[in-house]
A and B are shown apart, each in its own frame.
Chain A
């Protein structure tokens, strides 16, 4: 299996003495959809900055499709596409020019670049706005413009640093569909996000960075498997006066019509309904109390002890 990104013992200390990265090593396989998570200031953007050569590393090695970014920077940069966290295009330029210019910096001649720009701008619903100065675009459009710009040179590895920050749910979901399509076409995608639902929905593998260290690097499935206990919220058909007794389960009557039940992995959820039926309590709907990944994430970055979860 080809490795799209290999990072070896990456360290970064800024001039002010801040040690942003303390020796990170990870691999992302070709075709993967990889989530890089971590709290603010954990080192995610620094890692991305180093991979894309916008931040100088203090120590370590980075290979993009086996090309060392130090010695084969020309080839390595051609493989990479970056969607940064902050808007970083010239707001006075037109979207079409922004995308065409980016293609030009990669040595793609104008005619060929125009066809690609049209494809991506149409795909991302920006074609009608292509000749309007970028400052007039909405926040969501600006994000999509940066995605079109990052894809115009057809990179093999696309890195998105919080691409859906501040984007409404409908648009976020359409961007997810677009990213899934790009991934299905063979583009390896690395994503940082604060929307853990996004990571859980899109990504197959996950790395969690905290205080400059990689504290988790595994598949999404195996990470979620580590979650020992889940809380379900049950909406009851009729209000209760007191908390029902469900032997073997921890329950909380939050409101007369809302019951929370903690269920371990070993326990069967059917049993809960059985016990409730025996007490003539009917459930109208049920949902998870929190996002599963969010719960894990909070536990991981607070004390790293998953087993107690």
Chain B
């Protein structure tokens, strides 16, 4: 019976999250479609032909997986950080806190909402890419698992940010000063083999590099990083972030006085 109640709680949070981001689709889905269209147009069609081939692939074919992954990362993060902080700000997070919903279900519910938006935007960006290039998937299981795991990881990261946030400025600092630079330097637009040896080693410290390359392997069959290493890194961060979130919510950080 308790499992059934818990499952209903989980489904309620997930439904609420999906309703939220689909209700405001012009703020949550559309911007990524427009931005990536511009990326495809400028970097793929205008600048791309002058860059030439990267391995066996044209530049636009090479950046498509990176841009899809970039959309998944930013949207899954943004969904959770905005929704959870919004709930804290309006105090409607109390609806969950006074209920018997276990804390791990609150975390999983918000994370699933983030995954749903990340995948939704990922699909839209993929569809947009079809207007600019042919897309042949090398490994569907790798594409799906990498997309879900990465969205999960950044949803959990967004939740940590939201728990600590005390103002709307706080939920923008990490995406602006940490997430965006790491994403751009994570091999979305280039292969790290193009970098000098020193910067190649520095790039290996960027976790986003592993996700972008795992996803690129799933789509194109090429990667700068072995797939097993990428999966290990992604799963490691998921576990760390989940445990951290659970610890923070159990401690009521930023939630209860």
Contact = CB atoms under 8 A, between A and B. Distances in A.
B50 interface: no
Contacts of B101: 105
A90 B96 CA distance: 12
Interface residues of A, number: 35
B98 A149 contact: no
B257 A102 contact: no
Contacts, number: 83
A92 B100 contact: no
A47 B252 CA distance: 18
Given A77-B99, A101-B12, A101-B16, A106 B5 contact: yes
A86 interface: yes
B252 to A, nearest CB: 6
B92 A73 contact: no
Given A56-B257, A90-B87, A107 B100 contact: yes
A90 B98 CA distance: 16
A74 interface: yes
Given A56-B252, A107-B6, A84 B100 contact: no
A107 B97 contact: no
B5 A107 contact: yes
A80 interface: yes
B9 A105 contact: yes
A267 interface: no
A80 B95 CA distance: 12
Interface in B97-126: 97-101
A109 interface: yes
Given A101-B12, A105-B12, A89 B95 contact: yes
Contact of B98 (A14, A54, A97, A107): A54
A90 B20 CA distance: 10
Nearest to A107: B5
A107 B4 contact: yes
A91 interface: yes
A88 interface: yes
Most buried by A among B2, B11, B12, B257: B12
A67 B91 CA distance: 26
A93 B12 CA distance: 14
Contacts of B94: 54, 82, 84, 88
A88 B2 CA distance: 27
A53 interface: yes
B98 A82 contact: yes
Contacts of B91: 84, 86, 88
Contacts of B87: 90
B19 interface: yes
A193 interface: no
A106 B95 CA distance: 10
Contacts of A179: none
A91 B90 contact: yes
B90 A107 contact: no
Interface string B68-80: 0000000000000
Given A53-B256, A73-B100, A93-B16, 10 more contacts: A78-B100, A91-B90, A92-B23, A101-B15, A101-B95, A105-B12, A105-B99, A107-B9, A109-B8, A153-B99
Interface of A: 14-15, 49, 52-56, 73-75, 77-78, 80, 82, 84, 86, 88-93, 97, 100-102, 104-109, 149, 153
Interface of B: 2, 4-6, 8-9, 11-13, 15-16, 19-20, 23, 86-87, 90-92, 94-101, 252, 256-257
8 contacts: A54-B256, A55-B256, A56-B252, A86-B91, A101-B16, A105-B95, A109-B8, A153-B99
